[in-house]
Structure 1
Amino acid sequence: MARRRGWRRRRNRRSAVAGVALLVAVLVVFWSRTWPFVLAAAALGGLAALVWWGWRTHREIRRRDEVFRAEQRVLDANRTLEEVDKLHWRDFERMVAALLREGGCTEVEWVGQGGDRGRDVTGVLPDGRSMVVQCKLFATHRSVVSGDMQRLLGARTNFTADVAIFVTNTRFTTDAEKYAKDNEIVAIGRNLLASWLKGATLESLLEIGSGGQGDRRHLTEWNKAYGKTSRRRRQKRAS
């Protein structure tokens, strides 16, 4: 059976080659009569390819414009942390994409679908470095742990990105902060996110983002707003 299939493939291949050779021979012999038709067919083929390319390009431009407008609408409607906390995780990722684009990044794309392999947003920073971004929208009493960052580290390696950025609406544990520093992950926690929403430059966030929480003043504000609530919830769960 295998021999028969192999013989058929060789026969079909020889038939195809013979057909092409015959067509070329006919064109050469009758070139004076067939050249107008050959040129017309080539012109029509080129025109069809050009129309197809234009249609595909136009469709891609429209898709990107729709995505951009959707992301910008989410960002414009959610400029405070209280509003951000109520977002769906998809809208949170779209908002981060809009913030990055607003900060001068190019080729920004929201990837956050099934099989994103640890990258929710990709793009190129204003200085030309490629980036992968992971976003986590948590309840405000929760904290990001080091395990939440591991997929991002893998994504930076898999996609050979220059910079890995982790953005969340909550804060990082001490272990997560250390993990981010040891692995050169830019960690943008709740307080830095608040500054970003209010107009802080992306460049400034990249400079201080290794700490995740911001400076001591930011951490003090966090403890005033959420420290007691978090302790009460932990005590309630323990009881």
Structure 2
Amino acid sequence: MAGRRRGAAARRRRTARPAASAAGGVALVLMVVSRPVVWPYLAGAVALGALGAAGWWLWRTDRLARGRDRRWRHEEAVRAGHRTLAEVDAMTGTEFEELVAGLCRRDGCTEVRRVGGANDNGADVVGRLPDGRTMVIQCKRYAPSSTIASREVRDLLGAKVHFGADLAVFVTTTRFSRPSERFALQHGILAVHRDHLGLWNNGVRLLSLSEVNGRGQGDSRHRTRWKQAYGK
């Protein structure tokens, strides 16, 4: 019985070999016969793949180059417009407003113009942020020993409504009182005090300061050192 089974299996293998050879031969004949039809499609697919890879490489190279160029231009703008805080303290109010407008332009803001002066409706600089939102800025170049009171921040809130701005920014060379700081946070006003102004002036972008809004003025020990340094 076992011998008969082995014999049947051997016969099947012998039968399968010619069948497989025949199938391979038929496939080879079909490839040779259909080559004029198939090869153009294969060549086209290979060409398209190569073009796609080349296009992706060019796009990535251009993106990296543009990124390096933007960083270089930003660094150059920071160096060209850099002022120490001591120099800022010596500016006139108009010069300070121009400085703030220049920092906005450096950061990619558009339609930036200084509107401070008589009948300025509580705004000194207006423009558009890089993301397209409108902004209104109040600039106060006070002595470092001064403090921004709540009423001044409330005036900026009125200017935001008057100009229909999406964001209100208060920039000062001094610090905010605790009530004025709380008012700014409650009403979505970006409060740029002296320390944050120093960061902005040194290259940090304006919108990055929103991440630390309401912070950086320190605790009671910091305020004591502040008073010792600036005489109040």
> Residue type matched to 1:200 in 2?
V
Q: Is the 8 A contact 2:88 2:96 kept in 1?
A: yes
Identity level (%): 41
Give the distance between the partners of 2:135 and 2:143, measured in 1 at CA: 26
Q: Does 1:117 align with 2:112?
A: no
Q: Is the 8 A contact 1:123 1:130 kept in 2?
A: yes
Q: Structure 2 regions of 5+ residues with no counterpart?
A: 1-76
Change (3 A) 1:99 1:215: same
Q: Does 1:206 align with 2:210?
A: yes
Higher relative contact order (CA 8 A, sep 6+): 2
Query: How many residue pairs are counted as aligned between the two chains?
Result: 155
Give the distance between the partners of 1:137 and 1:116, measured in 2 at CA: 16
Give the distance between the partners of 1:223 and 1:135, measured in 2 at CA: 25
Residue matched to 1:100: 104
Pairwise CA distance, 1:220: 6.4
CA RMSD between the two structures? 2.3
Secondary structure at the counterpart of residue 142 of structure 2: coil
Give the distance between the partners of 2:229 and 2:146, measured in 1 at CA: 11
Q: TM-score, normalised by structure 2?
A: 0.61
Give per-residue Cα distances to partners, 1:74-124, cap 9 Å, x unaligned.
Answer: x95661111100100000000000001101100000001211000100000
Give the distance between the partners of 1:140 and 1:78, measured in 2 at CA: 19
Give the distance between the partners of 2:105 and 2:156, measured in 1 at CA: 20
Pairwise CA distance, 1:221: 5.9
Give the distance between the partners of 1:77 and 1:198, measured in 2 at CA: 9
Pairwise CA distance, 1:151: 1.5
Give the distance between the partners of 1:161 and 1:203, measured in 2 at CA: 15
Residue matched to 2:140: 136
Pairwise CA distance, 1:227: 2.2
Q: Does 1:187 align with 2:191?
A: yes
Question: Larger Cα Rg: Structure 1 or Structure 2?
Answer: 2
Q: Is the 8 A contact 2:136 2:159 kept in 1?
A: yes
Pairwise CA distance, 1:190: 0.2
Structure-to-structure mapping, 1:17-32, within 5 angstroms: none
Q: Runs ≥4 in structure 1, deviation > 4 angstroms?
A: 75-78, 219-223
Residue matched to 2:85: 81
Change (3 A) 1:127 1:84: same
Secondary structure at the counterpart of residue 91 of structure 1: helix
Secondary structure at the counterpart of residue 108 of structure 1: strand
Q: Structure 1 regions of 5+ residues with no counterpart?
A: 1-72, 234-239
> Residue type matched to 1:160 in 2?
G
> Residue type matched to 1:136 in 2?
K
